[in-house]
Amino acid sequence: MWNPTRWAARLPALVVVESTALTRNFLRSWRVLWALTRIETRRKYAGSVLGSLWYPTYSALLLGSYCFVYLVVFKVRFKELGSYEYVLFIFAGLIPYLGFSEAVSSSTSSVRQNLTILRNAVFPIEFLPVKFVCASLFGLLSSLVILLVMVAPTSFFGAHVLYLPVAIASLFLFCVMVAWTLSAATVILPDLAHLVNIALMLLMFVSPVGYSIDMVPARARFLVYLNPLTYLIEMFRFALLGLRSAPFWADPVFIAMCVAGAAVAGTFFRRLSPIFADYE
């Protein structure tokens, strides 16, 4: 009979064992992971006219839609921001959302669609979702470069851009945590892939992309803080524009939770992986 108390007591030891195994596998297979990431990046837009330019094009189209809704329809205005600066404000918030959305949507069904890799002893299956996360964030770099070029001639450009690697690493950790959890669960429950697409659509509207946390009514603000994308958006906005509403102490807490969450998610994936072959 399953005993939740006993299972919870064993969890820390399991996480340590599986995290050690994950680290060992990564050190052995990182070159293969890097090579497969480059192949996936090229394959994603292979045969299309624009090729890899589709990613910044999609970002630009979504940015234009946001700007039309908030600037033209709702006429949102910041006292300290002009129209161009507000476009930068929205773009800085869109980047982590787009990276997360692309990484999660592409990795959720990755294991179920590639169960034949279970027979491959060279590449550990736990890195299959990570490959899709890396490919998605690699494409995100083009949008980051465009935004940095747009920010460079403004007063927002400064030393805070050195914080950008922290924001990118946090986004990567969070995406890996979610990818491991959802890709393993989707093997058993394929309907999760459809629910994930709906959830990502809803997240686009409830995340503080076109507005700041301070604009949310005080009694509803806790809902914004419950959204993990809020902290990623705040990190990217600070790194790119030097603007933020959330306190700085929230960043190390969020990063620590991502590290712990990724360790637990990796344990969940590895412990569930022996039954994946039953669903091939």
Number of domains, the chain: 1
- The residue-averaged pLDDT of 42-62 equals 69
DSSP state of 78: B
How do residues 31-47 score in pLDDT, each as one tens digit? 888 988 888 887 876 66
Of 163, 141, 146, the closest CA to residue 244 belongs to 163
How do residues 105-116 score in pLDDT, each as one tens digit? 999 988 888 877
Of 87, 112, 273, 85, the closest CA to residue 190 belongs to 112
Is residue 231, in this structure, part of any structural domain at all?
yes
Is residue 225, in this structure, part of any structural domain at all?
yes
Compute the 3-state secondary structure of the chain and give helix, strand, coil in percent, each to the nearest 5: 80, 0, 20
Cα diameter, the chain: 65
pLDDT above 90 for 125: no
- Domain limits at 80? 16-279
Could you give the 3-state DSSP secondary structure of residue 111? Answer: coil
- Mean of all residue pLDDT scores within the chain: 85
How do residues 213-241 score in pLDDT, each as one tens digit? 888 888 888 889 999 999 999 999 999 99
Is residue 77, in this structure, part of any structural domain at all?
yes
